[in-house]
Amino acid sequence: MLKSFSGKNKLSKVKIIVSVLIVLGLAGALFLGTRESKISIQGNTVEIGGMYGMSINAGEIQEVLLVNEIPNIRGKINALSLLSLKKGNFRMDEIEKARLYLHAGNGPYIKITTNEEIIIINYKSAEKTESVYEEIQDFSLNKGKSL
Please give the model's pTM, rounded to 2 decimal places. 0.78
- Torsional sign, CA 128, 125, 67, 122: positive
3-class DSSP state of 132 = helix
Reading the chain (147 residues) residue by residue, the pLDDT tens digits are: 455 555 667 778 888 888 888 887 777 666 666 678 889 998 899 999 888 889 999 999 999 999 999 999 999 998 888 788 899 999 999 888 999 999 998 989 999 999 999 999 999 999 999 999 999 999 988 875 554
In this structure, what DSSP letter does residue 137 have? H
